[in-house]
Amino acid sequence: MHTTVGIVGGGPAGLLLARLLHLAGIDSVVLENRTRAYVEQRQRAGILEQTTVETLRAAGAGERMDREGLVHHGIDLRFDGRSHRIGFPELTGGRSVVLYAQTEVVKDLVALHLAEGGPLLFEAEAHAVDGADTDRPAVRYTHQGREQTLTCDYVVGCDGFHGVVRNAIPEHLRRTYERTYPYSWLGVLADAPPVHDELVYAHSGRGFALASMRSPVVSRCYLQVPDATHLDDWPDGRIWDELDARLAADGSRPLHRGPITARSVLPMRSHVTEPMHWGRVFLAGDAAHIVPPTGAKGLNLAVADVLVLARALTERYATGSAELLDAYSATCLKRVWRAEHFSWFMTTTLHSEVGQSPFDTRLQLSQLDRIATSPHAAAELAHNYVGLPVGLPGESPSR
């Protein structure tokens, strides 16, 4: 089989890229190694930056998001027994975020692509990319038990952190930057109304907690836990008690409790692979970079990469110019490193390490107090949270 753009991975990055290329009249084939049911129910991110929302709308994938998504104009920061609201529109020139789960974004994009787009093969596992530096790169993959080859003009690795396309960039040219954190998140989904109408991020002596939601009747909550935590050690009662203890602040009320319907432990990691482009191979989303989830940047970074790449491929086929393609890696990495910094900052400011010194705790509390009391510090957080410019030609750099 031959296609113009071979896309490995049918997560948000791969599906959105295929959709944007389809709208630009560029053929693609998406290879996804899991089943459709699996990718549609994999619990992950929840917060969409305004640019992500606008991109999904422009891609024709915004109808259900506009109906069911919850617009959030701020977050609550809790620390030292106090609660402070950071309002976004007043600090960012009118911007805000939308809570709409990654599972729903993926369902919407899969349905659209199967109805209108090119081939989207599930249970198709890519093994390697050959000829990345030639003008006819090829993806070797297995589908329905048969080894096959997809030749392409370009190959895009949207295959996540454990993907294989990254290996097409020669090892001596690839640089990786990484940081791990000495804690994980226990994430739960519960049939219980959210405790608050906006997200609550809590620093506490017992560790970090986050109260999010999926709908007015479904809560999504996270607790900082030690690495290698066993789910068996966390029966429902212990989870609710711990969330209540960590989220408590002056005037707050206990969480609404209900049946916990899903739970998992998520490790925390920062990782960047550079460059994000070599020869005819490009990397987008988690295939190129991972952030710890505090601050909800992962999915939004994937969308921003894909916007830049779709624009560059569109220009390449419309005018013959590869200028934007050649700039892809540098354009994306500028924003990626900003999001890496923000995610690291949110993580290290809100979590407590085992044996953390009282000095380090005072520094965290001082920084949180600065955000709560200085409009400048709050604005810096708000701008990063609602999303920085993507780096498209002609975009205003002033935000």
Which spans of this chain sit near ligand DHB (rule: CB under 6 A)? 45-47, 199, 210, 212, 220, 293-296
Select 55 or 102, whichever has its Cβ closest to ligand FAD.
102
Judged on CB neighbours under 10 Å (0-12, 13-18, 19+), 373 is exposed
**CA–CA gap between residue 139 and residue 6 (Å, rounded):** 8
The answer to whether 165 and 159 are in contact (CB under 8 A) is yes
Cα dihedral 166/291/236/239 (nearest 10):
150
Q: Catalytic annotation on 141? A: no
Shortest Å distance, C-beta 289 to ligand FAD: 9
**CA–CA gap between residue 199 and residue 74 (Å, rounded):** 8
Token readout for 350 is 């809100």
Q: Which partner, ligand FAD, ligand DHB, none, binds residue 306 by CB below 5 to 8 Å per kind?
A: none
Contact pick of 5, 6, 7, 8 for ligand FAD (by CB under 6 A): 8
Q: Could you say which of 12, 22, 72, 292 is catalytic?
A: 72
Select 28 or 212, whichever has its Cβ closest to ligand DHB.
212
Shortest Å distance, C-beta 115 to ligand DHB: 28
Which alpha helices (DSSP H) does 36-94 contain, by range? 36-41, 50-58, 63-68, 89-92
The answer to whether 195 and 253 are in contact (CB under 8 A) is yes
Select 76 or 286, whichever has its Cβ closest to ligand FAD.
286
Q: Which partner, ligand DHB, ligand FAD, none, binds residue 381 by CB below 5 to 8 Å per kind?
A: none
Shortest Å distance, C-beta 45 to ligand FAD: 3
**CA–CA gap between residue 150 and residue 286 (Å, rounded):** 22
Select 34 or 271, whichever has its Cβ closest to ligand FAD.
34
Tell me the window of 142-150, 170-178, 232-240, 285-293 that interacts with ligand FAD (CB under 6 A): 285-293
Q: Angle 12-23/102-116 helices, nearest 10 degrees?
A: 40
Q: Which residues are catalytic?
A: 72, 201, 293, 297, 385
| Footprint of ligand FAD (CB under 6 A) | 8-14, 31-34, 39, 44-45, 102, 125-126, 158-160, 162-164, 266, 285-286, 293, 296-299, 302
